Amino acid sequence: MNLENKKQIATLLLAVALGLAAAVFTSDYVTKSINKQTTALAKNYDKKTEEIKKELALTQKALDQLAKNQKVLADRPAQVAAGGPERQMTPAGVLSARTPPGKRALTINVDTLSAVGGLLNPGDRVDIIADLQIPDSRDPKAEPDKVTSVLFQDVLVLAVGTNFQPVTTAEGYDARAKARSLQITLALDPEEASLITFSQKYGKMQLTLRPPSDEGVQNMEVASWDSLADFVLERQGTELIVPRSKARIQTDDTGKKETKDTEAFIQIFKGGKEQ
């Protein structure tokens, strides 16, 4: 083997050695780079995992609070369906917890006879009739007109006096019957509460008891001689000649205006004959 061949073989071996060294160094660099990136990814993953865990914990806390709120709402007294049984209300001794949503508790004072003789109980439903004296805005000194009308229907009784529970003994009813008046707490919507407060200044309230199975409201006329005559004629076949409304008649024969009222009267006919 000549010298030239030996140089070529040495050069080749050196190139191979350098290639192997370069491969080793490259592999080591790549390995370190991968390890570094893997470590960074692991740290980032751990950080993200902790953040996700915190978010899940907060979400779970919010869900638990929502569940508690829903339970509180479920335990509150719901608006009772007409004719349906009233739910158990908690806490039992708090009037606000017994007042249905959208309603206001308002207490009115009525004489015992006007409160169904004292036989009303919490949980009953009533209609409210008013005997009103409507003043004449044109003549404050004139006698007010008297009107009887159903103001509200299907009103829930929350309490009688300070009792939230029904009376179940004869002695309890007897005690009420002997009282001159009773305080009845009703569940009314805000507008009804305002109107009944206004109406009490001009008249007397009377309550009529509804059966549990009776639901809904009816359109009713204001009670008057005309409505009474129509009712009696329809139901009994008896014709009532009702009092004429007072007419304001003005005369000026002497140059002075004078106001007179016509006289009211009532005449009864039955079977076409005057009674």
In tens, the pLDDT along 34-54 reads 778 778 777 777 777 888 888
Q: Is residue 98 part of a domain?
A: no
Same-domain status, 1 and 61: yes
Same-domain status, 71 and 130: no
pLDDT of residue 43: 77
**Count of domains in the chain?**
3
Q: Is residue 261 part of a domain?
A: yes
Are 184 and 108 spatial neighbours (Cβ–Cβ below 8 Å)?
A: yes
**Which residue range forms the structural domain that includes residue 115?**
104-210
Last residue of a domain, one of 186, 210, 234: 210
Q: How far apart are CA 187 and CA 85, in angstroms?
A: 16
Same-domain status, 187 and 270: no
Same-domain status, 64 and 131: no
Last residue of a domain, one of 57, 75, 93: 75
- How many of the other CB atoms lie within 10 Å of CB of 60? 10
- 36-52 in b/e form (b: 16+ CB < 10 A) is eeeeeeeeeeeeeeeee
Instruction: Tell me, yes or no, if the pTM score tops 0.85.
Output: no
Same-domain status, 184 and 116: yes
Give me the amino acid identity at 133.
Q
Same-domain status, 172 and 130: yes
The torsion defined by the Cα of 173, 175, 176 and 178, in degrees rounded to 10, comes to 120
pLDDT of residue 247: 46
Q: Is residue 83 part of a domain?
A: no
The torsion defined by the Cα of 107, 109, 111 and 115, in degrees rounded to 10, comes to -10
Q: What is the pLDDT of residues 218-275, one digit of tens each?
A: 777 777 777 777 777 888 888 777 666 554 445 555 555 444 444 444 555 555 555 5
Provide block-wise average pLDDT over 10 residues at a time, the chain (275 residues).
67 73 72 79 78 85 81 57 45 77 92 89 92 81 83 92 86 86 93 91 90 81 75 79 57 51 50 54
Same-domain status, 119 and 62: no
pLDDT of residue 126: 94
Secondary structure E strands in 135-253: 145-160, 181-188, 203-210, 238-241, 248-251
Q: How far apart are CA 155 and CA 82, in angstroms?
A: 10
Same-domain status, 113 and 183: yes
DSSP code for 115 = G
Last residue of a domain, one of 169, 185, 210: 210
Phi, psi of 237 (to 5 degrees): 75, 15
Q: Is residue 117 part of a domain?
A: yes
Q: How far is CA 88 from the centre of its chain?
A: 17
Q: Is residue 89 part of a domain?
A: no
Of the candidates 194, 209, 241, 203, the one whose C-alpha atom is nearest the C-alpha of residue 222 is 203
Q: Where are the alpha helices (DSSP H) in 86-169?
A: 95-98
DSSP 6-56: HHHHHHHHHHHHHHHHHHHHHHHHHHHHHHHHHHHHHHHHHHHHHHHHHHH
Same-domain status, 190 and 129: yes
Q: How far apart are CA 34 and CA 38, in angstroms?
A: 6
Q: How far apart are CA 27 and CA 21, in angstroms?
A: 10
Of the candidates 124, 113, 190, 214, the one whose C-alpha atom is nearest the C-alpha of residue 160 is 124
Same-domain status, 50 and 145: no
Same-domain status, 134 and 68: no
Tokens 């017994």 locate to 98
Same-domain status, 113 and 198: yes
pLDDT of residue 275: 54
